[in-house]
Amino acid sequence: MNVDKATTISNDNLAKEILRLKKEKGAVIMAHYYQRGEIQDLADYIGDSLALAQIASKIDAPIIVLCGVHFMGETAKILCPDKKVLVPDMSAGCSLADSCPASEFEKFVKAHPDHTVISYVNTSAAVKALTDVVVTSGNAKEIVESFPADEKIIFGPDRNLGNYINSATGRSMLLWDGACHVHEQFSLEKIIELKKQHSKALLLVHPECKKPLQLLADKVGSTAVLLKYAGEVDAKEFIVATESGILHEMRKKYPDKTFIPAPVEDAECACNDCSYMKLNTLKKLYDCLLNESPEIVVDADISERARKPILKMLELSEKIKK
Ligand code: 13P
Ligand code: SF4
């Protein structure tokens, strides 16, 4: 038997066992668009960071398995303190969240006591506890705009998303100097070259990417916004500058369209894969459901303080939609 066939068979069996365990335990599986395709295919819900938080706030199940990175599991646990929130791999971190240690962020906040603190969801619970409103890339611009034009604002931790909002709104928010190692890897020169070869392709860019790439984009937006846009426009070809996991759902949803992953600086590395997101595998998902571990635990005091800015985000998001 060749290795590919053996892997497929064992993945099929794992998938069946995961679905069986899920039913037996009344668990719900949620997955971010950057998860491996086989995990997205098994999930009850897939979405961007905003959708996952919105869904978690309404979920009615004793166990939530959050297939994503640690801060996403924390957000779900903070919103559902009475539920068991599991993540397949506890070491699935985030370079952006890591670029903003709570102790350093606290000093920054204390140095600007007259500022409202807006934090991206890609932060630890401890950073959220220092925050007035949490945002995701799906609602950041609109939430910032919901504050008066002269509001003094600290925005952290992503400098590219912060600069994008400053440019789009004419604000001058004070920015934390953090970034995501995946979204900063895309090569402007190679993308310009690729656009020449695919002259009709539209360029889709996540706001965590650097400014020159944002300026070249046909659409800048969160994962869900880019996915929706690709379905709405007439174009048949797209160059996608965000984590490669989103290509799975794009190709599934729009099989008659072509999605090309944007090239990165180092052709040898698979840098448009988030190594943290890809730590989750079917086998780890199976083990996690079977053992009900690893489980997310958030300090009660931090959780209480972090819940307020997350709920504020959900409330503002609802208002923005109306
Ligand atoms: P969104 O889910 O808001 O598009 O964010 C992307 C991301 O980097 C998640 O880690
Ligand atoms: Fe964090 Fe970047 Fe991975 Fe998203 S893609 S989880 S921001 S390291």
Global pTM reads: 0.94
- 128-136 mean pLDDT: 98
**Band of pLDDT at residue 244, cut at 50, 70 and 90:** very high
Q: Which CATH superfamily is domain 3-92+277-299 in?
A: NadA-like (3.40.50.10800)
Question: What is the position in ligand 1's atom list of the atom closest to the CA of 206?
Answer: 4
**Is domain 96-179+303-321 classified as CATH 3.40.50.10800?**
yes
Cα separations in angstroms, 161 against 6, 150, 254, 289, 306 = 43, 20, 27, 35, 21
Q: Which of 104-113, 192-201, 220-229, 265-274 comes out lowest in average pLDDT?
A: 265-274
Distance (Å) from CA 48 to ligand 2 centroid: 12
Note the pLDDT of residue 1: 45
Evaluate: CB of 276 within 6 angstroms of ligand 2. Answer: yes
Evaluate: CB of 180 within 6 angstroms of ligand 2. Answer: yes
**Size of the chain, expressed as the number of residues it contains:** 322
Evaluate: CB of 121 within 6 angstroms of ligand 2. Answer: no
Q: Which CATH superfamily is domain 186-261 in?
A: NadA-like (3.40.50.10800)
pLDDT at residue 3 is higher than 80:
no
pLDDT tens digit sequence for 152-176: 999 999 999 999 999 999 999 999 9
Question: What is the position in ligand 1's atom list of the atom closest to the CA of 182?
Answer: 8
Note the pLDDT of residue 269: 72
pLDDT at residue 271 is higher than 90:
no
Distance (Å) from CA 44 to ligand 2 centroid: 22
pLDDT tens digit sequence for 17-44: 999 999 999 999 999 999 999 999 999 9
Note the pLDDT of residue 272: 86
Q: What are the residues whose beta carbons fall under 8 Å from the beta carbon of 146, sequence distance 6 or more?
A: 316, 319, 320
Note the pLDDT of residue 320: 84
